[in-house]
Structure 1
Amino acid sequence: MKIYTGYYRTFLLSFLCFLLSASAFGQKWKLVWSDEFNNTGKPNEKFWSFEKGFVRNEELQWYQADNAYCKNGVLVIEGRKEKVLNPGYNKEQTGWKNQREYAEYTSSSIKTEGKKEFLYGRVEVRAKIPVASGAWPAIWTLGKEMEWPSCGEVDLMEFYRINNVPSVLANAAWGTKTRWKAKWDGSNKPLSYFTKKDPDWANKFHIWRMDWDKDFIRLYLDSELLNEIDLSQSINQDGVNPFHQPQYLLLNLALGGNGGDPSQTKYPLTYEIDYVRIYQQK
């Protein structure tokens, strides 16, 4: 009987703590926008647009809309091994985008630019990421003003290989006196840091979070603080602080580049996003 009573006492105390925590959260934060991906088919065009073709970092994938779809309450971004003709191919030009006659892989990158932008608040994304060789999934933001990196970039999550070690990163970047050269405030942990705690980590959904106010950006994974960026330091050479201006959100799965060699990986790779939620303080 004592065990029985003790069990329920523990349960009730835990439940009470949950209610108090939820109440405190509700008093401080207001949900201002979310996408739960409960539709079937393409992501909601009121919120998202697609990047197209070869875009950045000399990555191997061709971005196209076909690789992103909503099903069973999640957004799925697929990395596929398939050959696509590059209409911009021109062997006489020197740019990497023009030098490739074909792309050997496809994927998707979606963004809220011009549709949903925000200044300060909390961003939560619940997702399950691919960790196979070649995979480079990301949850990140960019500023709507100025070119990169002066516009500011925040990586709530990047997963790729550092010295061939699979790693989870949480970063921010801003401009320097040299065009297109960023100042980084980065943090990374090897994937093994998480799988030692939970060997099945990679097969589960996790919550990536950014808390952003006028003083700090704090980046969390499953409530564990990964990085804290002091915004008194994130000032471009022109004196502008990009993190005092609105940002928009990107979700993408790159292949190759920092992700490593994708050639021996089994396809399709799937990057699943359960929801995106943005809160602001009341």
Structure 2
Amino acid sequence: MKKHFYKAVAFCAVVIAFAGCSSNDGGSGTPADPNQELINKLSGGSSRTWYWAAGETGHLAFGDNSTNNGINFYGNIDQAAPFEYVDNPQTGCLYDNTLTFNFQGGELKLTVNNSGSTLFNGGYVTSNGGTGTTDSCLPYAATGAKTVTFSDSDSYVAQSGVTGRTTGKALTIANGGFMGYFAGQSTYEILSLTNTRMTVRAIIGNDPSKAVYHTFTTTQPTPPASENFTNLVWSDEFNTPGAPDPAKWSYNTGAGGWGNNEQQYYTNSAENVVVADGKLVITAKKQTLNGSPYTSARLVSDGKYSFKYGRAVIRAKLPTGAGTWPAIWMLGQNYTTAAWPSCGEIDIMEHVGNQQNRIFGTLHYPGHFGGSANGNSAIIPNVSTDFHEYSVIWNTDVIKMYAGDVLIHSVTNDPSLPFDHNFFFILNIAMGGNFGGNIDPNFTQSSLEIDYIRVYQ
């Protein structure tokens, strides 16, 4: 029964009225409301706003309404993971809910604001204009003041007599009112309530064998940075034969590999870099140029395209041969003012022919660069015979490098690291050097082929 969640309850004002009590306040003639403690916790004495406790496991949960005291007090069937549905348009509206309790003139009033959409339990979707039997967000506006009364709970949880599982109180919202998730029920047992956290339980209206649980908090949860970047913002599909698109790419040329003792000379020659058959082809050759025994190419988007945070995906097939060192990587666009490694470097994919099929994912930054870089590797079969997707997910919280679905390396991102500004792409094959190692004397040439490069945010 994974019928669930979200998009908030309609904007509704709920008035909670309380009947007078028969007892007197020490003979003063003023009735003492036995529910005053609940009122104060809900409203803070005047006004208090509650949010779905989306950062908690089980903030929306489902369980059996059973006489079994071992399972009837929590969501034993299903519990939402923290922010489980935050990126799901079908259910994510739940997180738009706010519940504000105001205590004025002896009355407790509840306003539920859902920004116009409510998450309906799957059993109620079709009766409210939707289709199917899966929980869905539907347009809904529940307006008007709705009186709520307190009563003693007669649930299985209350009947169990187990201390600490329930307050023993329930609140009922008149005229079809409900608390953020429509399940055909207006009566909620208050399992627990403090000044900052509340958990309620309700029986699903069309299925009395099941209960739904809601947990609210007075602190608005902050969702984690997204890893599900889906909006394509930039790409090169390499569909136009000839030189790489000059609007997207330029070249680094020269020898030595900028301090890495590499043996290639980078050129912009079509012998070393060309777009053909729907692919970018970078070729390293055994060919002497300006004193270097090999030629190759290094393409950069420097000054043409850079971005901060997102998901970059590159589909590529790698060269072969001892000494080859292909790389798909990114460098901080501020490198002219923050010299490497202060600008930061994200190596999405590196491979060396001396360790065939081992893919490296690495970060370079102050204190962690060169031989002390922060990286890891994994064996990925057939990297030089088949195309694979190499990708990075980069946000304020984490940087992750993948080969296909295999996580190569993950690093927690934070403000102390230089990964909070724009980075640009670099695509190249180096030969030998500090990382590439010894070059096979029989090497003649081999190519890095890239089918596409795409950036999502």
The TM-score normalised by the length of structure 1 is 0.74
Q: Kindly indicate whether the alpha-carbon contact (under 8 Å) linking 1:123 and 1:209 is maintained by their aligned counterparts in 2.
A: yes
For residue 29 of structure 1, report the CA deviation from its aligned partner: 1.3
| Match for residue 423 of structure 2 among 247, 257, 261 | 247
Q: Kindly indicate whether the alpha-carbon contact (under 8 Å) linking 2:229 and 2:311 is maintained by their aligned counterparts in 1.
A: no
For residue 159 of structure 1, report the CA deviation from its aligned partner: 0.6
| Match for residue 206 of structure 1 among 378, 388, 409 | 388
For residue 201 of structure 1, report the CA deviation from its aligned partner: 4.4
Provide the C-alpha distance between the structure 1 equivalents of 2:372 and 2:308, rounded to a whole number of angstroms: 21
| Match for residue 174 of structure 1 among 365, 378, 382 | 365
Following superposition of structure 1 onto structure 2, how do residues 176-191 of structure 1 map, counting pairs within 5 Å? 176=367, 184-189=373-378
For residue 263 of structure 1, report the CA deviation from its aligned partner: 4.0
The aligned counterpart of 2:296 is 107
Letter in 2 for 1:211: I
| Match for residue 155 of structure 1 among 347, 352, 357 | 347
**Which entry has the higher C-alpha Rg, 1 or 2?**
2
Matched, 1:259 2:451: no
The aligned counterpart of 2:380 is 194
Matched, 1:53 2:254: yes
The aligned counterpart of 1:272 is 449
Letter in 1 for 2:367: T
Provide the C-alpha distance between the structure 1 equivalents of 2:301 and 2:229, rounded to a whole number of angstroms: 25
Matched, 1:83 2:288: yes
Letter in 1 for 2:388: H
Q: CA RMSD in A?
A: 2.5
Q: Kindly indicate whether the alpha-carbon contact (under 8 Å) linking 1:133 and 1:265 is maintained by their aligned counterparts in 2.
A: no
For residues 82-114 of structure 1, the C-alpha deviation after alignment (integer angstroms, 9 at most, x for no partner) is: 1112xxxxxxxxxxxxxxxx1110000000011
Q: Kindly indicate whether the alpha-carbon contact (under 8 Å) linking 1:124 and 1:207 is maintained by their aligned counterparts in 2.
A: yes
The aligned counterpart of 1:36 is 237
The TM-score normalised by the length of structure 2 is 0.47
Q: Kindly indicate whether the alpha-carbon contact (under 8 Å) linking 2:294 and 2:431 is maintained by their aligned counterparts in 1.
A: yes
Q: Which has the higher helix share?
A: 1
Higher RCO structure, 1 or 2 (CA under 8 Å, sep 6+): 1
For residue 138 of structure 1, report the CA deviation from its aligned partner: 0.3
More displaced 10-residue stretch of structure 1: 261-270 or 42-51: 261-270
Provide the C-alpha distance between the structure 1 equivalents of 2:284 and 2:359, rounded to a whole number of angstroms: 19
Provide the C-alpha distance between the structure 2 equivalents of 1:202 and 1:47, rounded to a whole number of angstroms: 26
Provide the C-alpha distance between the structure 1 equivalents of 2:373 and 2:286, rounded to a whole number of angstroms: 32
Provide the C-alpha distance between the structure 2 equivalents of 1:37 and 1:126, rounded to a whole number of angstroms: 11
For residue 143 of structure 1, report the CA deviation from its aligned partner: 0.3
For residue 224 of structure 1, report the CA deviation from its aligned partner: 1.2
Q: How many percent of aligned residue pairs carry the same amino acid?
A: 35
Provide the C-alpha distance between the structure 2 equivalents of 1:182 and 1:202, rounded to a whole number of angstroms: 25
Instruction: Check 1:64–1:157 CA distance in 2 against 1; reply closer, same or farther (3 A cut).
Output: same
Q: How many residues align?
A: 226
For residue 65 of structure 1, report the CA deviation from its aligned partner: 0.5
Letter in 2 for 1:125: I
Runs of 4+ aligned residues of structure 1 deviating over 6 Å after TM superposition are: none
For residue 184 of structure 1, report the CA deviation from its aligned partner: 2.2
Provide the C-alpha distance between the structure 2 equivalents of 1:28 and 1:129, rounded to a whole number of angstroms: 26
For residue 33 of structure 1, report the CA deviation from its aligned partner: 0.4
Return 5+ residue gaps in structure 1 as ranges. 1-22, 86-101, 236-240
Matched, 1:62 2:265: yes
Q: Kindly indicate whether the alpha-carbon contact (under 8 Å) linking 1:176 and 1:183 is maintained by their aligned counterparts in 2.
A: yes
SS of residue in 1 equivalent to 2:352? strand
The aligned counterpart of 1:142 is 331
Q: Kindly indicate whether the alpha-carbon contact (under 8 Å) linking 1:157 and 1:169 is maintained by their aligned counterparts in 2.
A: yes
